[in-house]
Each structure stands twice: as C-alpha cells, then as structure tokens.
Structure 1
Amino acid sequence: MELLTIEEAEVLGQKHYKQHNAITSGRYDFTACQLDILFMILSSLEEDKLTYTIRAKDIELLTGREWNYQQLRKSTEDIGSRMFEIEKAGSYKQIWLFQSVEYLIGKGAFEVMISEPAKPLFFELKNNFTHFQLRSVLGCTSSYAKRLYMLACQWRTIGRFPKPIPIIELKQMLGLVDKKGKEQYTQIGQLKEKVLDVAKRQINQHTDISFDYELYKRGRSYEYIQIYVSIHKDKPKQLEIDYKIPVNEQKNIRTIMAYGISEEYAELIVKNGFDEFIKFVEKVNERAKKGEINVENAAAYIIGTYQKKGILPR
C-alpha cells in the first residue's frame, strides 16, 4: 500500500488550517434564512463599514426564497445570540457577530450592525471560502464534519485522497491529539461512531459532495484511512447569493434573467451595461405600444439584438 509521507500529510493539514475560522469551526448549524442574511452581509462588505441594509425583496430576487418578517426576525435573533470563541496566545476571546439589528417598519428592510471584533472573521470568510463551500460547511453541526468537508473539497475532482493517510495524522488535523500527544477516541469503534460516521452523514446530507472512507489494518490494528469524495450530481442547482460578486450586480443579472435570458448571457449583458439594457427595454416597449414592432418572444428578441451588436455570441 502506497502511503502519504509525514511531510505530505503536514501539507494537507496546513492547507486545511489556513481556512480555519471561528464561525466555520463552531458547533452551530445555520438555517437557509440565516445563511441568506449572512451572505447578503458578505456580498456587501466594505472595509470601513459596520452597518448594512438588507431588503427582503433583494434576497428573494437573488435566491428565489421568500422570507417573512417573523422568519427574518427570528433568524437575526438566533445569530445575534450565538457566541464564538477564538483561542489566542494565553487567552480565549469570546465574540458575537451582531452588535444590533434594526427593522425598518413598512420598508421591508432591516439594518444589521456587525460587531467590530467580528469584522475580521467576515472578511476571512469572504476571502478564504467560495459561497458553495461556506453554505455547505455551515450546514453541518459537527466540527469534525466541517473540517473533513474542507479537506475533502481539495480532492473532489480526483475522487479520493491521493493515498491512504495514517489515522494519527488525520486525528491531528481534526484536533483529536493534544500538544502532549494524548489522543481522543483511541478505540477504532469510538472514532467511527463519534467522528467518521457522523461526519459522513452530515456531509452527504448538507453539502455539495459525497463522502466515504475505508480503514486499513497494519498487523492487527487499524492504522490508515482512505477518504473518497465525489461531487453530488443529483442535487438540483438553486439560485444562490454569491458574495464574491457585488449585490447590485447580482440583482441586475437576476432582473435580466427574468426575461427568459440564461445566466451566462445575462452576465454578458450586465458587463456591457445594465443602464443600457434598461434604456433598450424602454425603447422596445415604446415602439411596441406605437405598433412599430411586434415582439412575440422577448428573450429571442433581446438575444437577437445583442447578437447583432456583437455583445452576445451567435
């Protein structure tokens, strides 16, 4: 059996721990509504800004999910009450994500003020995770599932870790070995029940990948683990907030898609200029009212016009 060297395993661990964050490693899961709120904040992050206005209609436009006042209020209450702990040199720092939330009556909007100590965590999430990874990892309650998911994501296109790795190395990556070398779950049955099987169940249920593992013996005891991973093919694609793209740009793309335009074409049209698109639609509607043109298929008419301009490919 060809195995990872200690150096290769350490590289795996280093890749993982670069993505460590108190929010993702906490023993919390997040509802779809809570995730939408967090993602709206992430997509609006600015260096010198703490307060962000979130509109329920914007969430609906970007995700297709509609949240009422009670759902939003309960979600912000739950997020605001959660404590996240950061281990520092010689201390543990406890922080809360929100400093305050103010609902604007009659406007379908609310203002979230994130706490100053939590600000670096939000930027770290935005810089180190894709929105699909973050949505997946925050859907798991087990800290081991969160960590194994991030490790497994590195090999999703290959189908498995390149080689089996020593179980002790995996334990070190999962924080199951302290600084003195004392291990948790020394019995393989405990490790399977408390860590591996829980992680497998949550990853397969909540994330965009399938996860499995196989244990190998050396002599009479299990010493190695092979992890298998693949991309879920049967999960339908949903509209999601992509916090790597500014909220206004995403709103413009969704608005154009409402005309029956594909997302790829909508992105090209927005790149050309959303204001230009609005002027184009207004002009077409004006001409149609006057009887100058007859538009039976709006999507085909828009695509055809933009193809003639060379903005969309033929």
Structure 2
Amino acid sequence: MAGIETFKQTNAITGARYDYTTTEKRLVYLSLIEVMKTVQDGITDDFFRRDLDLFIIEDQLKKSDPNDNRFRDYRKAVISLRKKDFSIDEVDGSWTETGFVTRGKYIKNKGLEVSISRDVLPYLYELTKRFTVLDATVVMTLASKFSQRFYEWCCQWRSVGQFDFTPDALRDVLMIKTQTGDLKIYVLEVAKAELMKMYEDGVSDLYFTYSEERGGRGRGGSVKRWIFKIHTKKKQIAQERAKNEDIVFVMRFLGQIFGKDSPLIDQALEALKTHENVKLFADRADELQTSGKLDQTKNKPGYIRSILQKEFGLDKK
C-alpha cells in the first residue's frame, strides 16, 4: 500500500444498505484500493481471469487493530465474507452468483493473504468510475463501523457541506432496529467523537456536527430529521459550501430527477463546477418547477440532461 494516500470508492457502495463489521469493511476497502492501483497502472490482459490476491502485512494489521483480537476478528471477517452472496446481473439477462472472498490465510508474524473472487473484479472496476475519495489511513484505522459509514458520507457530500437522515432512513441503511434515543447515543455520538478525535490528531481532514429538526406532540416533540454539517481544514471553503443554498437545491433537484444514486449527479456537478454555473442552473431549475413546464415534460431526465449538455458542457457519453 506504499504511496496510496487516497482511494476511490463507488457511491453505489457508499450509499448501499448493508451491515458489515468494521473488519469486513476494511477488507472491502483493501480490495478497492488494489483495484484502483491496478486501474492507475493499466489493466493487464489476465486481470479479469484470476482472483485478486491481497496481502496485508503484520504492521498494517497492528495499525488497524493493536489488540490481539485482530487475529480472531480478521479470521471471522474472512469466514463471513466467504459466506455472503455477491449477485451480479447483466443487462442481457446473464447473471453470476459468487462470494466476495474466495480464501484467506494468515501467516504468523508476516500477515494476511486474502483472495477476491475474479467474478467480482469487473464489477468493482466498473464501479470505480463513480467514486468517493477516501483517505486510506483513516478508513483502515477507524474503530467503529458507524464511524466508517459517516466518514464515507462526509466524503461523498464534502462538496455540498452537509447531508441529512431521518431516524428511519438511518436505521434502514445501517440495518439496525435501535430506538431513536439509543441511535443518537451509540451511533451518532460515537461516530462524531471518533472523527473529531482523528481530526484533532491530524489523521483525518474532516469531521461532522449535527442538529435536529423536531416536531409532533410531547415536550419538544420527536426527532424528525438530523442535519449533518461537514467541517474540513479548509474552514472558509467549508463555510461557503454549507451556506450555499444553491448547491444544496441543485443536489436535491438532480436527485429527484435522476435518482439520488445516479452517476449523472457526479457528472452534472463536475460540469457545473463554478458557483456561477451552479447559480445559473439553480435559477433555471427553479423556473422550470414554478412555471409548471417540468411537470408537462414526459421525459424529465432526458430534458434536464439535454440542458446540462447544451448549456453547461455535460459529457454526452
């Protein structure tokens, strides 16, 4: 992993609904790091015809888990990932059912060998075309699986400066049934504290704080939504982004048109780039909504994509 400071994780995985342990997710991170390294160096002819062999050196295992539990935890993670199904559906109707990990072997005082299924590699390769940039040091050393997820979301929404979840939506994406009060204590506060500590220690370049929207009966009502504000070392830029109502409006508008997990959202934001273009597109979108013209359009995604291509230079590929 020498020389790898960041890696690109697909937003399909960032926003996915799953419940991996911290150690399982570290193995997923490592596989994505290796795929990115391979993509950067150029794909060889036999890349997709063989399993991807990873080797995690002993020092890396110690860094991510300094306790003796790491040997037990990594073994459990390998066993669990070997048993979890990985389903791949092709557009022509073909399908593949496989496992993510095909084997794992620990070599005492040297490290851990893990093999990723060759059937998964083409899928991972395609997914790297839409990504979230994550810091490898941070994701491999976070102690809580909830901190891992919040770090991913902070990276995903860094350009916007904030994101939000209702308690039910957060429970669903994390696949837990915790009561709202406990969700705040054992998920939000744990992730907030760990990311804040890593930020203060200079390991991570971001952390988050959050506020609540409450309503309903009873004293103070119940939590309806949590709003998470992202803070980075570039405080002035972060403040501008957090206050920029136009980009928040654009993100939500594009999510409604294309679907919040569509790769077109990243492509559109790249095409818009400047605050001036974001403002122009936000005004255009607002006018289309208020005038009723958008409601009269049968193919809304196609219409909006056409505007982005003709007026803002969105790639037509």
TM bin (shorter chain): 0.3 to 0.5
The TM-score normalised by the length of structure 2 is: 0.41
The TM-score normalised by the length of structure 1 is: 0.41
Larger radius of gyration: 1
